[in-house]
Amino acid sequence: MIQLFKFAFFPSYDEKIRDLADNIADPESWDFSDSTLKSYQILKNYLEHTFRKLKSEGKICFTSNNRYAAFNTGLVTSNLEEIIAFFEEYKNQRNGFSTPYFFKGFLKNSDNQILTHFSNSLPEIANYFEKPAALIFNPKCNLIPDIDHIISDNLSRFPSHLQSAHDDEIRRQLFGAIDDVKKKVRTNYKIAIPQYYDNKIQLLLPLCLTAGSPNPDLALVVHALNESTYTARTCLTLKMAYNNARLIVKPQSSWLKP
């Protein structure tokens, strides 16, 4: 179950999410480019995972009498004011299920309700940056992928023209794509995009497996084994990669977009 819904009752949830995206937060794309309807699924995933991270860090704020609660969404307005999710104690039963809080609104940290109840301890953002060096690809390190594991565990994510190909052909294409991106990232570290997954920072690299296409097909997931070696054991669709990367910050990338 969504942890945020266990914490609070959200009346008109979709409407509140739409208002946050369209009228409160600094504008960005919260749906994938192939979506036919606006569902703001990227934003919904972002809020759920942000809540879980803040909860694990003990950063959900409560007033002394527990009547009010709040957390920092990590989002900002167009004027760079932090946006706070604000809640009030809720004791009503709903079909035999109760939540401790009731969602009141997404508010700027300068809002009177936030300052009245939390001015002595404003909600803090989630911390993903204990080791800033982990966010940048080190070109001095070796990158050693587990090719067989990447193929066997992720074949359904590969382009359709490769899913039916012989294993040797898939392996050749994957080796070539990884060799190419190794060269690119060593001359432009910005190609590597950090993502947060399984409570750790990993790096995403674009894999181009379709001949003649300027766009990557998959994102290679890279993590550090030690100070001199990276490894890669899986790859993600670009949608999966963007969702994970957006948990930290809006990717400023030429290749990973919603």
- Cα Dmax for the chain: 65
- Please report, for the chain, the start and end positions of each structural domain, with discontinuous segments joined by +: 3-118, 132-246
| pLDDT, tens digit, 9 for 90 and up, residues 175-209 | 999 999 999 998 998 899 999 888 889 999 999 99
Q: Residue 28: what pLDDT?
A: 94
Mean local confidence (pLDDT), 252-256: 90
| pLDDT, tens digit, 9 for 90 and up, residues 136-189 | 999 899 999 999 999 999 999 999 999 999 989 999 999 999 999 999 998 998
Are the CB atoms for 75 and 50 separated by under 8 Å? Answer: no
Distances 215 to 180, 210, 211, 245 between C-alpha atoms, Å: 14, 8, 10, 18
| pLDDT, tens digit, 9 for 90 and up, residues 108-123 | 999 999 999 998 899 9
Only one residue has tokens 């104690």, namely 89
| pLDDT, tens digit, 9 for 90 and up, residues 81-113 | 999 999 999 877 665 667 899 999 999 999 999
DSSP of 15-80:
HHHHHIIIIISPP---S-TT-SS---HHHHHHHHHHHHHHHHTT--EE-TTSSEEEEEEEEE-TT-
